[in-house]
């Protein structure tokens, strides 16, 4: 999948405004955000759909989403609520066939509704804006940790 846009971002061939990366997943700013601070979490290894995703990665992606949601709330981003959104398959609205979870900050009066169409994204911004927001979220992440699962 050499021409996959998310694989190219992960390889560093296309710039992105990163907020988080570990050995399994990467998270960066969506370039067509529903609201400022809209993030994508993608597995570092190409998986086109949920069926292709390593079963270990599902819980990890969700755990990272929880951490990013907390990070958004503590950043400069206007964030009173968060939507997690994943489209698995074309019929579900998947547009990039490298599975990804959207983490979307919401606030009252953002006029996006509960079942917004990702295709009709209203907010346009620049790389510079995304870098600035990403830096704020990264700083917030340093101060927002989710409790580790206790193994008893
Ligand atoms: Zn890919």
Count CB atoms within 10 A of the CB of residue 105. Answer: 26
Cα(108) to ligand 1 centroid in Å equals 34
Output the average pLDDT for the chain. 89
| 8, containing H or E segment | helix 5-10
Cα(31) to ligand 1 centroid in Å equals 17
Q: Summarize pLDDT for 24-60 with one digit per residue, the tens.
A: 999 999 998 999 999 999 999 999 999 999 999 999 9
Question: Distances in Å between the alpha carbon of 88 and those of 48, 108, 151?
Answer: 9, 28, 32
Catalytic residues: 100
Buried b (16+ CB within 10 A) or exposed e, 53-74: beeebeebbeebbebbbbbbbb
Q: Summarize pLDDT for 104-126 with one digit per residue, the tens.
A: 999 998 888 776 666 555 566 78
Cα(23) to ligand 1 centroid in Å equals 15
Structural domains of the chain ordered from first start: 5-109+121-132 (3.30.428.10)
DSSP 8-state assignment for residue 51: G
Q: Which residues surround ligand 1, an ion (CB under 5 A)?
A: 1, 4, 6-7, 46, 98
């Amino acid at each position: 999948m050499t021409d996959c846009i998310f694989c190219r971002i992960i390889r560093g061939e296309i710039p992105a405004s990163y907020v988080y990366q570990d050995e399994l997943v990467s998270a960066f700013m969506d370039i067509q955000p529903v609201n400022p601070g809209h993030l994508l979490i993608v597995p570092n290894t190409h998986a086109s759909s949920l069926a292709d995703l390593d079963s270990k990665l599902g819980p990890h992606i969700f755990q990272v989403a929880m951490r990013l949601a907390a990070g958004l709330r503590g950043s400069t981003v206007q964030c009173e609520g968060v939507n997690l959104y994943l489209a698995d398959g074309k019929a579900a609205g998947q547009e990039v066939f490298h599975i990804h979870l959207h983490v979307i900050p919401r606030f009252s009066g953002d006029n996006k509704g509960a079942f917004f169409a990702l295709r009709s994204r209203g907010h346009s911004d620049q790389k510079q804006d995304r870098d600035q927001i990403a830096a704020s979220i990264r700083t917030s992440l340093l101060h927002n940790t989710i409790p580790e699962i206790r193994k008893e």
